[in-house]
Chains A and B, each alone.
Chain A
Amino acid sequence: EVQLVESGGGLVQPGASLKLSCVASGFTFSDYWMSWVRQTPGKTMEWIGDIKYDGSYTNYAPSLKNRFTISRDNAKSTLYLQMSNVRSEDTATYYCTRGDYWGQGVMVTVSS
């Protein structure tokens, strides 16, 4: 069974950094492009970016490219999202997704 389990969210102050993780199981992680998507409290969905199966290439939403970094560790079947200089508008539920499968999401709240 394919499973994607995110972690690392929580309450963070503006300007801080945060790293989210997504552990994959039930499939060969290194065979798939993986993505991060977020959903705001108002339910707007926003694609953050994706990473090639071997980690050699990434794409980002232009508005997030300077602050967010996606990486992966195929030996650990884990996807990461490094968020820096976070802002209140980054408050959202963050999902990792293979496209056809989505994790349960992890909440990030940016507030002082």
Chain B
Amino acid sequence: DVVMTQTPPSLSVAIGQSVSISCKSSQSLVASDKNTYLNWLLQSPGRSPKRLIYQVSKLDSGVPDRFSGSGSEKDFTLKISRVEAEDLGVYYCLQGTHLPTFGAGTKLELK
């Protein structure tokens, strides 16, 4: 299994602050088609997960551009600029290059 190590486990932020979440994989996520299948999901309290970013840096429809994804090979980052209240919840990275596996999650809370 590809292990996804996600840090930090939790973040306490003030509205308007910027934050970054890291996700490191135990194997390269570059697929045979040269794409990198690394997604970021947000699970808001009491809701089902919602995909925000796919293929490292592509934003899903309707996702604000204060979200951005970056990285390559085994090292990936989700950045949220100017956090808003609706951004609070648990963020997961998910790799789909190999049999899919998730990170353990990062809980974003209000300071």
Chain A contacts to B: CB under 8 angstroms: 35, 43-47, 59, 61-62, 95, 97, 99-105
Contact = CB atoms under 8 A, between A and B. Distances in A.
B8 to A, nearest CB: 15
Nearest to B92: A45
Contacts, number: 38
Interface of B: 1, 39, 48-51, 54, 60, 90, 92, 94, 96, 99-102, 104-105
Contacts of B101: 47
Contacts of B51: 99-102
Given A95-B48, A100-B51, A100-B54, A47 B105 contact: no
A97 B101 CA distance: 14
Provide the main secondary structure of the chain A interface: loop
Nearest to B60: A100
Given A43-B105, A47-B102, A104-B48, 16 more contacts: A35-B100, A43-B90, A44-B102, A45-B49, A45-B92, A45-B102, A47-B94, A47-B99, A47-B100, A61-B99, A99-B51, A99-B54, A100-B60, A101-B51, A103-B48, A105-B48
